[in-house]
Structures are given as C-alpha cells and as structure tokens.
C-alpha cells in the first residue's frame, strides 16, 4: 500500500512546527519513505491543488503536534484544518506525533465534532533526547509498517535519484510523477522497463526536455541528472529584456503625455493671460468713457448754474462800452455831462444789441446741448457695437474651446486605447506561452477591458470574451 508519488504527508503549523517537521522528514527519508513536506516538495503551480493531490496520494497522514497546531482550526478556511478534514474524508492512516510532548492533549476550544474526530486517533510520542531514534522507530513499526507494510520492497520498484539545477516536474504518460527541487537530491521509484520522462520547468512550463531511462535491475541505484538552467536563463533574460523594453516604452509614453500636458497648460495660461489683458482693456475703455461722461455732465451743470451771471456781466460790459463811446464822441458843447449821461443811458436801454446778443446766445446753448446729445448717442451706439462684438468673440472662443476639448478628448481616448491594446496584446501573448500563469491572463483581461471602454474592436472583443469564458 503506497502512493504513486508519496508515502507520507507531513502536516504542520509553520509558526512553531517547521523545524520539527524537517527533523521527521529527514528520518522518514532515511527509511526510504517518500514524504511530502510543503516547504521542500512544492516547486511551482497552485498551492492548494498540489497539497490536495499529495494528501490523496499518500496513504499516511502525519500530524506534527505543537502548541499552535490547532490554534486556528475553528476557522473552516484554515489550511491545517482543510488538510486534516481531507485526510479524514479519504480514510488516510492518521498518525498524530507529539514531539517531546509539546502538546498536552487536544485543546478544549476546538469544535466538539472536530475534536471528537481527532480524538479517536492516539498520539504517538517521539522523544527529543537520546531516545529519539528508538522512539521514532517504535512509532514507525507500530503505527505505520504494521498497517502499510514495507513500502519500498512491496512496490518492486527501483530507487532513482534525481538531481536538477532548477525546480521542475517529472511527467510520464501525461501525469506528474514527482516534483523536484533545485540542488537537492530527490528520488523517485520506477518500475522495471523503459521509461520516457518529460522534464518540465516549474518557472517556465514551456521549457521541456525528454529523458529516456531503462530500468533493468531493481537493486541498482539509478541517477537522473537534469540541466535546464541555461535554457531558463536565456528565457529569463529575454523576459527581462521584454519587460525592460515595455517599461522604457511606458516611460517614453508617460513623458510624451507629460510634455503634452505641460504644453496644454502653458497654452491655457497664455490664453488666460490674453483674456485678462482684454478684460483690462475693456475695463479701461469703460472707465475713460465714464470719466468723459462725468466731465460732460459737470460742464453742463456748471453752465446751467452760471449762465445767468455770465449773461449779466456781458450785458454790463456792453453798456459800459457804449457809455464810454458816447462820452468820447459827445454830440455838442452845450450839453451838460448830466444830460449826456442820461441820454446815453436812455439810448442804451433802447438799443437792441443787448436783446440781439441774448437771442443769439440761446441758439448757441441749444446747439451745444444737441451736439452733446448726438455725441452721447454715438457713444451709446459704439458701446452697443462693442458689446455685440465682444459677445460674438466670446461665442467663437467658446466654440473653439469646445472643439479643442473634443479633439483633445478624442486624441486622449485614442492614446489610451492604443496603450491598453498594446499592453493587452503583450500579456495575451505571454499567457499563450504560459497558460498556467493567471497573472498574465488577468493583466490581459484588465487591459483589453480598458481598451474596449475607449473604442470597440472586434479582435479585442473576441479575445476578451474568450479569456473571460476560460476564467
């Protein structure tokens, strides 16, 4: 009774059981037991699937009992609990090993049903002191060999040592028969006859190598030497170069976007500056017009207020001029100065120039007012025209800005589409090369999804739907 790949599955809690698990694993190996210890046996691939396969394959399930071993087993998603339940469900030989009596019975905090299923299996004590070898041998004889039998001899297989320069898997007849770790001596059991074994890299599953091995003598210890490191190094260098190139392209694209954004911001600031200057000029023009109107109003008000005494002074001046002229050009020597003055005043009063000047002054004032009203009307017309022109300029400016924004959005959407398509194509090709790598698949889906947000593309849509369907 033995598994195809493993005889013993070692279950332990990493927090405090890894050192003990290693010790037990080494002792089992010395006795030709094939042990699965996740620290040593897992190469690449999905963690949960490999653990499940190993538990189902190995007939013996060893529990490394430590204080923390059951600490999280009430959590149904806990890995240790899942390992135990899978072993119980498949009727594995359960061997709880209480190394140096680290654990004092099954904890009371465990769920009753779970505690009862564990409690039906007696603890096997392996001592830490000088009695380690004897206690371990006793445990193997009583708890394993009596039930399983001599595993290696019963299988009638040859023991084949495997040394590899990289983590890999051994495949025969489309089935993984062993996982091999780098720079460690691993061994497999092969039946007598010819074997065609495929070696597949754990890091790069596309790297494979076929090995032919002929087993003639079951007592002979065979050796398989695997050398894949050179191929892996070349592929790793190629991947690194591609990633570097992709990073450089991304940096260049980012710099181009930053330069465009800088230029756009500069253009925006320049447009804002010109707009501020235009508004300042308009404000200054309005201010000058307002000042001119104010001065005009002040002159009009001053004229209305002072026109009366101005007319009076003018009339008085005319009268004085007439009197002076009359005195100088008197009409006769017999006239007395009193008479002459009286006559002059009487004549002056009867003279029409004063009335004529007053009548002439009125039309002048009306003309001034009419001219002022005409000029005001012209100013109002200019203001209306300027306002209309400004509104038209603002409208054109808004339309131009709206058009520019639409073009900028279209250009940005195109750039985003091209970038996401390029990244999606890159990860899609990587996924085709590495179908087991979920990271490449998820990255391809994310980038294709973002690309389709910006532009519909039949090819991308087809690839995206296939990836989603496979997910």
Whether 119 is in a domain gets the answer: yes
Q: Are residues 137 and 266 in the same domain?
A: no
Of 22, 92, 32, 35, the C-alpha closest to 64 is 22
Q: Are residues 336 and 244 in the same domain?
A: yes
Q: Are residues 136 and 165 in the same domain?
A: no
Radius of gyration of the chain (CA): 54
Query: What would the two tokens of residue 210 be?
Result: 């076929």
The predicted structure's pLDDT at residue 149: 58
Round to whole Å and give the CA distance between 289 and 378: 12
Q: Are residues 141 and 285 in the same domain?
A: no
Whether 298 is in a domain gets the answer: yes
The predicted structure's pLDDT at residue 41: 44
Q: Are residues 119 and 217 in the same domain?
A: no
Round to whole Å and give the CA distance between 201 and 369: 104
CATH of the domain at 8: 3.40.50.10140
Whether 123 is in a domain gets the answer: yes
The SS3 of residue 95 is: strand
Q: Are residues 150 and 165 in the same domain?
A: no
Of 179, 230, 223, 225, the C-alpha closest to 200 is 179
Residue with tokens 């038209």: 392
Split into its structural domains, the chain has a count of 3
The SS3 of residue 250 is: helix
Q: Are residues 81 and 30 in the same domain?
A: yes
The predicted structure's pLDDT at residue 44: 46
- How far is residue 272 from each of residues 265, 296, 390, 422, measured CA to CA in Å? 10, 36, 16, 37
Round to whole Å and give the CA distance between 151 and 174: 25
Q: Are residues 222 and 245 in the same domain?
A: no
pTM of the model: 0.40
Query: What would the two tokens of residue 403 be?
Result: 């058009």
The predicted structure's pLDDT at residue 8: 92
pLDDT less than 50: residues of the chain: 40-45, 150-154, 333-335, 337-338, 341-342, 345, 348-349, 351-356, 358
CATH of the domain at 199: 2.60.40.1120
Round to whole Å and give the CA distance between 178 and 397: 74
For residues 146 and 102, the answer to whether their CB atoms sit within 8 Å is: no
Structural domain that includes position 169: 156-227
- How far is residue 247 from each of residues 73, 250, 251, measured CA to CA in Å? 44, 5, 6
Q: Are residues 136 and 274 in the same domain?
A: no
Whether 83 is in a domain gets the answer: yes
Q: Are residues 105 and 118 in the same domain?
A: yes
Query: Among the three residues 292, 321, 351, which one is the final residue of a domain in this structure?
Result: 351
Query: Among the three residues 127, 155, 183, which one is the final residue of a domain in this structure?
Result: 155
């Amino acid at each position: 009774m033995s598994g195809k790949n493993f005889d013993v599955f070692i279950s332990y809690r990493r927090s405090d059981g890894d050192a003990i698990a290693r010790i037990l694993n080494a002792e089992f190996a010395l006795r030709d037991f094939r042990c699965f210890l996740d620290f040593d046996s897992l190469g690449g691939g999905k963690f949960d699937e490999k653990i499940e396969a190993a538990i189902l394959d190995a007939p013996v399930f060893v529990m490394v009992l430590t204080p923390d071993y059951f600490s999280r087993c009430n959590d149904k998603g806990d890995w240790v609990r899942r390992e135990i339940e899978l072993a119980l469900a498949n009727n594995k030989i359960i061997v709880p090993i209480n190394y140096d009596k680290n654990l004092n019975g099954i904890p009371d905090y465990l769920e009753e049903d779970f505690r009862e299923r564990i409690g039906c299996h007696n603890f096997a004590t392996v001592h830490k002191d000088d009695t380690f070898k004897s206690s371990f041998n006793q445990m193997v004889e009583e708890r394993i060999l009596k039930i399983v039998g001599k595993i290696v001899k019963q299988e009638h297989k040859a023991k084949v040592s495997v040394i590899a320069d990289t983590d890999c898997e051994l495949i025969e007849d489309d089935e993984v028969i062993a996982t091999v770790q780098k720079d460690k001596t691993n061994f497999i059991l092969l039946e007598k006859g010819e074997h065609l074994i495929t070696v597949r890299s754990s890091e790069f599953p596309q790297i494979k190598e076929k090995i032919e091995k002929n087993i003639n003598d079951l007592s002979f210890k065979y050796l398989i030497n695997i050398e894949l490191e050179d191929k892996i190094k070349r592929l790793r260098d190629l991947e690194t170069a591609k990633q570097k190139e992709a990073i450089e392209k991304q940096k260049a694209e980012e710099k181009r976007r930053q330069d465009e954004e800088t230029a756009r911001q500069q253009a925006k600031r320049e447009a804002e500056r010109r707009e501020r200057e235009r508004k300042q000029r308009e404000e200054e023009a309005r201010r000058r017009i307002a000042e001119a109107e104010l001065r005009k109003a002040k002159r009009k008000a001053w004229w209305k207020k002072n026109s009366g005494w101005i007319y009076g002074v003018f009339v008085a001046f005319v009268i004085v001029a007439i009197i002076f002229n009359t005195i100088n050009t008197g009409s006769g020597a017999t006239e007395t100065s009193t008479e002459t003055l009286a006559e002059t005043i009487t004549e002056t009063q009867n003279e029409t120039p004063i009335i004529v000047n007053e009548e002439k002054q009125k039309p002048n004032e009306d003309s001034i007012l009419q001219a002022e009203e005409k000029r005001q009307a012209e100013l109002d017309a200019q203001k209306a025209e300027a306002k209309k022109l400004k509104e038209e300029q603002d409208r054109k400016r808004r339309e131009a800005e709206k058009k520019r924004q639409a073009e900028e959005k279209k250009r940005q959407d195109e750039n985003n589409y091209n970038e996401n398509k390029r990244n999606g194509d890159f990860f899609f090709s990587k996924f085709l090369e590495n179908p087991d790598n979920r990271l490449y698949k998820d990255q391809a889906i994310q980038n294709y999804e973002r690309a389709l947000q910006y532009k519909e593309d039949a090819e991308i849509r087809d690839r995206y739907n296939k990836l989603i369907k496979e997910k």
